[in-house]
Amino acid sequence: LGITIKDVAKRVGVTPATVSMVINNKPRISEATRNRVLEAIRELDYYPHAGARNLVLKRTSTIGVAASFFTYPFILEILTGIELELRQTEYNMVLFGTRGLAKTEDSVIHSIARERKVDGLITITLDLKENQVEDFRKNNLSIVALERDYKGVDCVVVNNEKGAFDATRHLAQLGHKRIGLVNGLVGHPGSDERQRGYERAILESGLILDKAYWRHIDNFSRKEGFEAAQDLMSVSQAPTAIFVAAGDLAALGVIQALGRMGKRVPEDVSVVGYDDIPLSEMLEPGLTTVRQPMQQIGAQAFKQLLSSIKEGTNHQPFKMVYDAELIVRQSTGPCTH
Amino acid sequence: LGITIKDVAKRVGVTPATVSMVINNKPRISEATRNRVLEAIRELDYYPHAGARNLVLKRTSTIGVAASFFTYPFILEILTGIELELRQTEYNMVLFGTRGLAKTEDSVIHSIARERKVDGLITITLDLKENQVEDFRKNNLSIVALERDYKGVDCVVVNNEKGAFDATRHLAQLGHKRIGLVNGLVGHPGSDERQRGYERAILESGLILDKAYWRHIDNFSRKEGFEAAQDLMSVSQAPTAIFVAAGDLAALGVIQALGRMGKRVPEDVSVVGYDDIPLSEMLEPGLTTVRQPMQQIGAQAFKQLLSSIKEGTNHQPFKMVYDAELIVRQSTGPCTH
DNA sequence: CTGTTAGCGCCTTCAG
DNA sequence: CTGAAGGCGCTAACAG
């Protein structure tokens, strides 16, 4: 029950080593024995034991993908991109969900590094600590960070500053003067970049920065977006447009809150989202948003990880920056006030 | 670079065997040496090499999850349920996406069975062939099928017949006489069950079955739902209600098509979906739909797989049936015709 | 061209 | 209570 290389060897009358060489296409095997081995393999329906092979080869043919949650569409799209590339190789992927808990994240990352269950790791929107990066380096494990730019770590990121700038300028060009912002928490790398893009666009458009129009949310959820919009629209001189830098799901919440308040999109208030998740084009009105090339990011990350695994972890840190692209749909229109 | 059990042993002045016993909490070790070993482990920050351990223990501590696509929300929710349980254990999970291609599905399943990279497999909405099941059995690998009921295979399913019945009867009770059906392809187990539930409700409500009101789609996608609705509403005596048994995403497509045609939901046409994906309650109007307890299904599947792995594959086939539950929201209303 | 030997890192007898 | 020996299934060197 579970046939091994020995069984094959015995059947053909050679040693396991010979069979091994046939399997791995090593040259110095005569056609004759090669064929006999191949035949025996077929007859016995033999498959090499992946684990045993990995042990001696000192690799696992597995990569890890770590993220806080895998249910957010943005993460899923990246996952899809990874999988598309992965499928071309002999690699498998195992998922590590940290559930947003710092503790589990710490222990998860640490045990990944030490138990050597994977050859490399892709992190998505995860805040690595210095010593965690060090853990990986010590163990010669490759790592690629997505949406985060650590010094000395390979990464694939999006130009968030430009994406946010384009979105905000788009609203300004439509004549909006009071442009609200729903963003992630202050201090988070991606959020801060988007904040800068927003501010630059506001200033370059000759408008004034007003914190009263800014809201910060934690989980990029629809619910938070809903609440932020309610809050935002209750200030005197409410905004006529809202840039929801905290993702399309939150933007959906904003739109729903506006609807609940009797405001129409885009006639009364324009809304721009961020990410361009599949849902966004399904909505009515279609959501104007900043597209991140998520599948490409995932695919690129995997390619980079692979080459890092092959070439070892002592290479120049690799950094790939993708441009975010403004996709104009029906949720934005000229200012009517 | 990569410290092993030997390093620990050497440091303490014992043999690897002793260290191994400490790690695995075997009894016959004196407190004194146990503590010294434990301390050395901490000092050296030693972690057992998962692969090596698995090799000798003849297990992988990994389960596989196979599905055609992981981007469909329904599948994701199940995945979340699995992960919730998995996290309590030492198991990891690796994903196998078959992309809906019969060929890749075949080879993927076969190699999973033979390379023994996993201790067991959960399949989601996958059509296993007789010989594939046999492959697993031969290798003593556990398997749990979700949304499919194979003889001799553990499974977790939903009572689709009842779910579809409830949904259809709900529409009939609202006074609808012409109730359209958008379902999966004929011959697929789940779709056929839903078809039966629909037909039974129609007949028990004193209505008549009319194939002109049925459409069948392949991928449960929004796009297909959109097209099906356009098609369905163009027949003479168009339906006043549509039961979209082919999932909530397709139901969204139906609603959008209706909107494009100037029909209002639920005033002109009522719509019921299937699954209750997270999106469904976010929509306006909220989607009336048949909820499948997806996370529970996933969690239950994992528990069952675990016990099957422990107890061996020679047990009475386990079968768990969950009830689907009708969730009434705002997309259904009384017939006004 | 093929067999022999050794070892990947760990665990489980079996002695002592 | 602990050390020694053997082996999980495979591959890489070195002989022959």
Residue B149 predicted with pLDDT over 90: no
pLDDT the model gives residue A312: 82
d(CA A282, nearest CA chain B) in Å: 8
Rounded to whole angstroms, how far apart are CA atoms A337 and A240? 8
Round to whole Å and give the CA distance between B170 and B324. 14
Contacts of B54 in chain A (CB under 8 A): 51
Report which of A97, A312, A131, A108 is spatially closest to residue B83, judged by C-alpha positions.
A97
Query: Helices H, strands E: what count in chain B?
Result: 13, 12
A57 interfacial to chain B (CB closer than 8 Å): no
| Amino acid sitting at position A17 | A
Q: What share of chain A is helix, strand, coil (3-state, %, to 5)?
A: 45, 15, 35
Among the listed ranges A122-131, A272-281, B26-35, which one has the minimum average pLDDT value?
Answer: B26-35
A103 touches chain B (CB under 8 A): no
Question: A328: pLDDT confidence band, cut at 50, 70 and 90?
Answer: very high
pLDDT per residue as tens digits for the range A109-118: 888 888 888 9
Secondary structure (3-state) at A275: strand
Q: Given this model, what pLDDT does residue B128 score?
A: 86
- Residue B20, CA: closest nucleotide via C1'? C11
Least confident window among A23-32, A45-54, B3-12, B63-72: A23-32
Q: Do B101 and B322 form a contact (C-beta atoms < 8 A)?
A: no
- Cα B28 to Cα B34: distance, rounded to the nearest angstrom: 10
CB B274 within 8 A of CB B166: no
Q: Does residue B114 have a pLDDT over 90? A: no
As a rounded value in angstroms, the CA-to-C1' distance for A89 and C7 is: 28
- The distance between the two most distant Cα atoms of chain B, rounded to a whole number of Å, is 89
Of B49, B80, B222, the CB nearest to A115: B49
- Optimal mutation site among B88, B116, B219, B221, interface A, most CBs of chain A within 10 A: B116
Mean pLDDT of chain B: 92
Helices (H), chain B: 5-12, 16-23, 31-44, 50-57, 73-86, 102-115, 130-138, 160-173, 189-204, 222-232, 248-260, 278-282, 294-311
Structure tokens at B292: 């499948």
CB A215 within 8 A of CB A181: yes
Contact criterion met (CB < 8 Å) for B138 and A70 = no
Nearest to B270 by CA among B291, B287, B247, B295: B287
Residue whose Cα is closest to the C1' of C9: B52
Query: How far is it, in rounded angstroms, from Cα A51 to Cα B115?
Result: 8
A157, HSE (Cβ side, Cα atoms, 13 Å): 21
Contact A258, A271 (CB under 8 A): yes
Percentage of residues of chain A with pLDDT beyond 90: 64
Cα–Cα distance for residue pair A243/A259, rounded to 1 Å: 16
Residue A167 CA: distances (Å) to CA of A26, A304, A321, B60: 56, 30, 18, 48
The residue-averaged pLDDT of A67-77 equals 87
Closest by CA position to B68, among listed B26, B125, B19:
B125
Of the candidates A150, A166, A161, the residue with the CA atom closest to the CA atom of residue A322:
A161
Residue of higher predicted confidence among B300 and B133: B300
Rounded to whole angstroms, the Cα distance separating A299 from A84 reads 7
The rounded distance, in Å, linking the Cα atoms of A34 and A26 is: 10
Give the amino acid at A163.
G
Tell me, what DSSP letter sits at residue B332?
-
| Chain-chain contact of A93 with B95 (C-beta, under 8 angstroms) | yes
Q: Which chain A residue has its CA at the smallest distance from B119's CA? A: A51
Contacts of B147-153 with CB under 8 Å at 24 or more apart are B147/B189, B147/B190, B148/B123, B148/B189, B148/B190, B149/B189, B149/B319, B151/B317, B152/B317, B153/B128, B153/B317
Global model pTM greater than 0.95: no
Of A51, A92, A222, nearest to B282 by CB-CB distance is A222
Residue from A279, A295, A313, A329 to probe the interface with B (highest B Cβ count within 10 Å): A279
The verdict on B230 touching A (C-beta cutoff 8 Å) is no
Query: What is the tally of helices (H) and strands (E) in chain A?
Result: 13, 12
Selecting from A99, A140, A279 the residue whose C-beta is nearest the C-beta of B279 gives A279
User: Has residue B139 got a pLDDT over 90?
Assistant: no
Q: Is the predicted pLDDT of residue A1 greater than 70, yes or no?
A: no
Answer whether residue B1 shows pLDDT above 70. no
pLDDT digits (tens, 9 = 90+) for A227-246: 999 999 999 999 999 999 99
Contact flag A48-B115 (C-beta cutoff 8 Å): yes
Using CA atoms of A174, B283, B78, A71 in order, give the dihedral in degrees to the nearest 10.
Answer: 20
pLDDT score at B119: 93
Highest mean pLDDT among A85-99, A315-329, B7-21, B75-89: A315-329
Chain A residue with Cα closest to B76? A71
Cβ–Cβ contact A83 with B under 8 A: yes
Q: pLDDT of A52-68, one tens digit each?
A: 999 899 889 999 999 98
The percentage of chain A sitting over the pLDDT mark of 70, rounded to a whole number, equals 100
Q: How far apart are CA B287 and CA B273, in angstroms?
A: 7
Cβ contact A94:A111 at 8 Å: no
A275/D9 CA-to-C1' distance in Å: 47
What are B245-278's pLDDT values in tens digits? 999 999 999 999 999 999 999 999 999 999 999 8
Who contacts B7 (Cβ-Cβ below 8 Å, separation ≥6)?
B44, B46
| Predicted confidence (pLDDT) per residue in B277-318, tens digit | 988 988 888 999 999 999 999 999 999 999 999 888 888 999
Q: How far apart are CA A121 and CA A93, in angstroms?
A: 9
Per-residue pLDDT for B24 more than 80? yes
Q: Which run of H or E residues covers position A122?
A: strand A120-124
Residue A327 CA to residue A309 CA, distance in Å, equals 36
Using DSSP, state whether A268 is helix, strand or coil: coil
Residues in B touching A140 (Cβ below 8 Å): 1-2
CB of B185 within 8 Å of any CB in chain A?
no
Q: What is the number of other CB atoms lying within 10 angstroms of the CB of residue B110?
A: 16
Identify the pLDDT of residue B104: 79
CB neighbour burial string for B266-304, b if at least 16 within 10 angstroms, e if fewer: bebbbbbbbbbbbbbebbebebbbbbbbbbbbbbbbbbb
H-helix or E-strand spanning residue A301: helix A294-311
pLDDT of residue B138: 80
The pLDDT of residue B301:
97
pLDDT tens digits along B218-230:
999 999 999 999 9
Q: Which of A49, A76, A115 sits opposite B71 (nearest CB)?
A: A76
Enumerate the nucleotides of strand D whose atoms come under 7 Å of any protein CB.
1-5, 7-13
Nearest neighbour of B95 by CB, restricted to A2, A48, A95: A95
Read off the amino acid at residue A117: K
